[in-house]
Copies of this chain bind each other. A is one copy, B any other.
Amino acid sequence: MEKIYIDHNSTTPVDPRVIEAMLPYMSETWGNASSLHLFGRAARLGLEDSRDKIASYLNCRPDEVYFTSGGTESDNLAIKGVAFALREKGRHVITSSIEHQAVLESCEFLQREGFEVTYLPVDEYGSVRPDDLKSAIRSDTVLVSVMYVNNEVGTIQQIDELASICEKRGVVFHTDAVQAVGRIPVDLSNSRVSLLSASAHKIYGPKGVGLMFIRTGTPILPWQTGGHHESGLRSGTVNVPGAVGYAKAMEIAISDMDEIQSRVGVLAESFRMRIQESVPDTKFNGHQTQRVKSTVNFCFKGAEGEALILNLDMKGIAASSGSACTSGSTEPSHVLLAMGVPPEIAQSSVRFSFGRSNTTDHVDYAVLAVREVVERLRSMSPFYAKT
């Protein structure tokens, strides 16, 4: 049985061209980029070349790009680093109620450190309303963090508008763009975003590598301290093969973006429509237009999310009941709850996230499989009555 992977928001395979770009930096140019000698300088060249490329893709300055170990580290650095840098100025932070755990748990850490955190609501499509942000900013607000693209439902926020509101009020603005960079155009020269987090493994790059864009002049303290790598903001021997692989993955993602995203978007939309037509009592979650189309999130009333995932898995289909990072949790998705989905419905959610390996055959098979699995689980459920 072919295994069909429809969980590209969790992770992606490493592109063979990315591996090919990384290998020389493991076996030939393997020096420590901080060493002064030839071996070190050669590695440093590869590192800075990768930084330059990424800066050109994001349209920012190379010295505004910092390599980290991934999106979670970047979110931690942004939120804790800015808050600690500014805590004498104020101890109020604003985020949204649909953030990734890396942001939410960083905010909870700040609460234990004496900060107050406001969680902005979202509308039924998962969008933060700019007016809500305007009214939430106080004189002691030092940081706002709103994700670019939601990992569970794919909703795209009005990041540039939110960033501009913050800039006018003198507040640092961070966005977790892990699901955005490489999937939708992100141009930092047209934006007032202060900090942006992204991750390589979501776009066919290696695991264990992320980046942090920090606009020049943004107040921030390092969170991982040590030997002053990455201009002192992120200590630890730099993972040069990882940085090189990330630059290659971003190059591929950006050069193929229009073609891939439109093809994958058509597959995903076709899947969405066919599910809605063929599976009754199905609730689609997310914005119809302001959404990364490859993400399709459904609630299948009367079936339980984890049971759906495991039954789909037995049919060879890999999907997710939410973020992979919270897999195993039996709580309903905080994202869907924030969008006003009742808990008993939210518990029946499945996220399908399509990627470039998917085909129309996958869609055909997945539609049939989902229908079968949903019908069977519902038939076994004492709570489900066809409406």
Contact = CB atoms under 8 A, between A and B. Distances in A.
A324 interface: yes
Query: What size tier do the contact residues of chain A reach?
Result: 35 or more
Nearest to A23: B19
Contact of A325 (B3, B31, B228): B228
Given A30-B11, A102-B235, A208 B310 contact: no
Interface string A301-313: 0000010011011
A32 B12 CA distance: 8
Interface stretch (A34-42, A56-64, A124-132, A140-148): A34-42
A310 B35 CA distance: 11
Contacts of A36: 306, 309-310, 313, 320-321, 327-328
Contacts of A282: none
Given A72-B227, A313-B36, A325-B228, A201 B101 contact: no
Interface in A100-152: 100-102, 105-106, 108-109
Contacts of A34: 10, 324-325, 327-328
13 contacts: A10-B40, A11-B237, A14-B26, A34-B328, A35-B327, A36-B320, A70-B236, A75-B226, A76-B225, A101-B227, A101-B235, A207-B241, A226-B325
